[in-house]
Amino acid sequence: MFPKPIEKQPRAAQISYQAMLPVALLLWLGPLLAVALFSIKPEADFTNANYWGLPSSFEGARNYGQVFFNSDMPRYLLNSFLITVPTVIGAVALSCMTGFALGIYKFKSNLWIFFMFVAGNFVPFQILMVPVRDLTLDLGLYNTKTGLVLFHIAFQTGFCTLFMRNFIRALPFELIEAARVEGISEWRIFWFVVLPLMKPAIAALSVLIFTFIWNDYFWAVVLTQGAESQPVTAGITSFNAQFRAAYHLMSAGSIVAALPPVAMFFLMQKHFIAGLTLGAVK
């Protein structure tokens, strides 16, 4: 008996599904489009309550120049890079080693240690606000980029280890056994056998962690203050005056702050998709 062919959906159903795509796309991109519109509006439009209409003049393009040259935005962007890049390197490097240990070696407490990494991902960060802030004060790391980097590495390592451990366990174990038969040391197996196979996973995880850390606002406000150490997400609020909000400058700053993660994704798109879909089809 031959399998029954899958019946095609009625054309009316296909049209209805296709009609939902623009609606879903508008809902998804709506906030971004609103911020982009606000970023090119002059300040007078907000004074006159012209929020959603077309810009009254093209002077709103000067908002980006004001953000770059008349504010601390370049310093905030540099702080974000100095916080995000070391965090990505540290968290991914640690997770590669812990994922290798938990995915390859079999010992009595393997599963319990793995559960500890997983359980840390379910702890709400908000309840740790006070003890983490007090800890950074006691260690002299409050309001420093180093303290924020160490904190992010500590909290992101759990998710990264979960990701890497599951990826390594899906690799062919025969390669490691063959290397051991040849007398290769364990660290050389990790460096020359396993690590090259992990490149898609490393690329995908790096993009995810870069986006998480770059877009973090909560801990940037809790653990830092001022232009010397705050990242760009917290620095955008500096455009607000005491009695008014500079929506045009905040919107322009938000668009500028969103460009690095978008550029990171498009540069690593091929490796990112390969890392997420590896093993999905056999």
Contacts with 163 (C-beta within 8 Å, 6 or more apart), sequence order? 95, 99, 201, 205
31 has a pLDDT exceeding 80 = yes
pLDDT of residue 281: 46
pLDDT of residue 12: 55
> Which one has a higher pLDDT value, 94 or 33?
94
2 has a pLDDT exceeding 60 = no
pLDDT of residue 13: 52
Residue showing tokens 């490149």: 199
Whole-angstrom CA distances from 217 to 130, 206, 225, 237, 253 are 16, 19, 12, 11, 14
Cα–Cα dist 105/98, whole Å:
11
Cα–Cα dist 282/276, whole Å:
14
Residue 61: which of 83, 90, 38 has the closest Cα?
38
51 has a pLDDT exceeding 80 = no
The DSSP H or E segment spanning 2 is none
Cα–Cα dist 240/249, whole Å:
9
> 17: number of CA atoms within 13 Å, CB side?
6
278 has a pLDDT exceeding 70 = no
Summarised one tens digit per residue, pLDDT across range 136-175 is 999 999 999 999 999 999 999 999 999 999 889 988 888 8
Cα–Cα dist 126/53, whole Å:
38
| DSSP label at residue 141 | -
Summarised one tens digit per residue, pLDDT across range 211-267 is 999 999 999 999 998 888 999 999 888 887 655 778 888 889 999 999 999 888 888
| Banded model confidence at residue 131, pLDDT cuts 50, 70, 90 | very high
Residue 40 and residue 60 in contact, taking contact as beta carbons nearer than 8 Å: yes
| DSSP label at residue 54 | -
pLDDT of residue 147: 93
Q: Could you count the other beta carbons within 10 Å of the beta carbon of residue 19?
A: 9
Summarised one tens digit per residue, pLDDT across range 111-130 is 899 998 888 888 888 888 99
Q: What is the dihedral of CA 122, 127, 129, 132, to 10 degrees?
A: -70
> Which one has a higher pLDDT value, 133 or 24?
133
Cα–Cα dist 206/267, whole Å:
12
Cα–Cα dist 200/188, whole Å:
20
What average pLDDT does range 47-55 have in this prediction? 77
> Which one has a higher pLDDT value, 271 or 187?
187
pLDDT of residue 17: 64
Residue 204: which of 274, 261, 153, 266 has the closest Cα?
274
Mean pLDDT estimate for the chain: 84
Structure tokens that stand for 108 in this block: 């009595």
pTM of the model as a whole? 0.84
